[in-house]
Chain A
Amino acid sequence: MESSEGTGGLSGEIEVEAYRRLFPLPFYERHLLESVRPDARPLNRARDTTIALGPVASADGSALVKIGDTTMLAAIKLEVMTPSTDAPDEGSLAIEFQMPPICSPSVRPGRPAEVASVISKQLSDVMMSSEMINLKELSLISGKAAWMAYLDIYCLSADGCLFDAALLSAIAAFSHLQIPLVSVNDDGRVIAVFGELPEAKLKLELVNKEKRKLSLGSKPFSLTCILHEEYILADPNAEEESIMDTFVTVVLDSLGQLVSIYKPGGAALANMSTIKACIALTKSRVKELNNILSESLSEMEVD
């Protein structure tokens, strides 16, 4: 709506902004009738996604993921611990998702955001059930020593689709993870080895000869869609999430198998065809994400 007069254009813009704030739902519905959203995306397109591997030099594996403006930083630190007696040759995994107050105006210091605990639980469930990580690979000496992998995910900027970005950053961090070398010292305790050590210092052989990466099973990727009347919007931003409250998260792995479906209530009800449409949208998104991730990984290897 270009006006030849500068002031006319500005006041027109202010009226649109005011309408958007006061009547958000009619504003969106006017756009949905034309099958487009205010940020010019078609209904089934996700925002631009980028993955950067290894931003945190001090961690064993890390990744920074941006979906639109939503930014997640995931880092994995490995520590040696004694495995439990009922699983002596398995390591373990601890996942923590945090939303520091920098990420969003609605997060207050001292009171963690409600949605952070929900996403934390969802993430651990999906990571365990997708069986991407074989815990036996995290074992060092059966019954005596195994790796405990601490995965910390920090939301640096929250603009919708937090679970998708968090899952993607976790998968990317695990793809980047390199297991450090260890040896056993005099007390029989396993310690991590940094850099080169002269041969005389090693009492026992190195448990693993060189830094290795985990061999991952099929990776899970997800897409969140918002349902509103008969429309399905893929990858909502924070504004869309705040006005339309029904969302469905579908997690598929790279082989096309269904890992998880999550629809926590909401005003809009979904019938079978809607769910199938969401799954179809997720399928194409999974291909996209898989490509982006393999590109980042191959770029890292070239370095």
Chain B
Amino acid sequence: MEYVNPLTGFRLDGRRPNEMRQIRGEIGVVAKADGSALFEMGNTKVIAAVYGPREVRNKGQQINNQALVRCEYGMANFSTGDRRRKPKGDRRSTEISLVIRQTMEACILTHLMPHSQIDIFVQVLQADGGTRSACINAATLALADAGIPMRDIVTSCSAGYLCSTPLLDLNYVEDSAGGPDVTVGILAKMDKVTLLQMDAKLPMDIFENVMQLAIEGCKAVAHYIREVLLEHTKQLECHRGA
């Protein structure tokens, strides 16, 4: 199948190989949450809600010198093409919950909030490839909305390699083509990689190109997220001033 048209260089959905899908972020979508955000990457739509810092529910898990970070990832039954029977508790969801938790834990300043718990819940409403990255971006926005101290903002993007071309931000069709899929998460200003996952075989030199492409995608997302946060702060300032 032609994922990249050899004549025009366009992908199946009309993008260029190094073009991301349209991203959109909105803060404050869940009224009762301490922080929440809706993040869209193309047709992938994800809601993240943050509750915390609050008292630890399970005293046995309490950590004395830092906050406990918990994360749960769920997909709605109607999020994928065929209706899913088991939206939570299956292996993929458990693995992604773990990945998101560890990624966010790396950037939250947990030592500032001992004896407490921070819950990050992510719900996928529509899945079209790149759900992992959309979840991390949404979680970053939600944590910022909740006012939780962080080292830096974490952004994530995926890239792949099909028809001998590195492609940025794969959608579902490109992802299921069987080619390699590299997901990268970085701390934007510090320029450090916190998450790196890849499956399928890829030669070393091509891997470097693909990873570099993904990192540029992450930086573009970080730029957008910073704008969204600035806009939101200006609105808060407006309301407070009035």
Contact = CB atoms under 8 A, between A and B. Distances in A.
Q: Do A and B bind each other?
A: yes
18 contacts: A56-B126, A58-B79, A58-B80, A69-B31, A69-B32, A75-B78, A101-B121, A102-B36, A102-B121, A102-B123, A103-B32, A109-B70, A152-B77, A152-B83, A156-B47, A156-B123, A157-B29, A238-B32
Interface of B: 29-33, 36, 43, 47-49, 51, 54, 57, 70, 72, 74, 76-81, 83, 119, 121-123, 125-126
Interface string A144-181: 00000010101011110000000000000000000000
Contacts of B57: 108
A62 interface: yes
A15 interface: no
Nearest to A70: B31
Interface of A: 56-59, 62, 69, 71, 73, 75, 77, 79, 96, 100-105, 108-109, 150, 152, 154, 156-159, 238
A42 B51 CA distance: 32
A13 to B, nearest CB: 12
A152 B80 CA distance: 13
Contact of B33 (A102, A154, A238): A102
Nearest to B97: A109
B81 A58 contact: yes
A71 B80 CA distance: 21
B125 to A, nearest CB: 7
B49 A59 contact: no
A102 B83 contact: no
A71 B79 CA distance: 17
A69 B72 CA distance: 23
Contacts of B70: 109
A154 B49 CA distance: 14
Contacts of B79: 58
B78 A100 contact: no
B172 to A, nearest CB: 10
Contacts of B29: 71, 156-157
A96 to B, nearest CB: 7
Contact of A102 (B30, B81, B126): B30
A154 B123 contact: yes
A64 B142 CA distance: 21
Contacts of B30: 71, 102-103, 156-157
**In the complex, which of the residues A57, A73, A108, A156 has the most CB atoms of chain B within 10 Å of its own CB atom?**
A156
A173 B241 CA distance: 41
Contacts of B47: 102, 156
Given A102-B121, A105-B54, A157-B32, 19 more contacts: A56-B126, A58-B126, A69-B31, A71-B29, A73-B125, A100-B123, A102-B123, A103-B49, A105-B51, A108-B57, A109-B70, A109-B119, A109-B121, A152-B78, A154-B123, A157-B30, A158-B32, A159-B31, A159-B32
Nearest to A102: B49
B225 to A, nearest CB: 19
B179 to A, nearest CB: 23
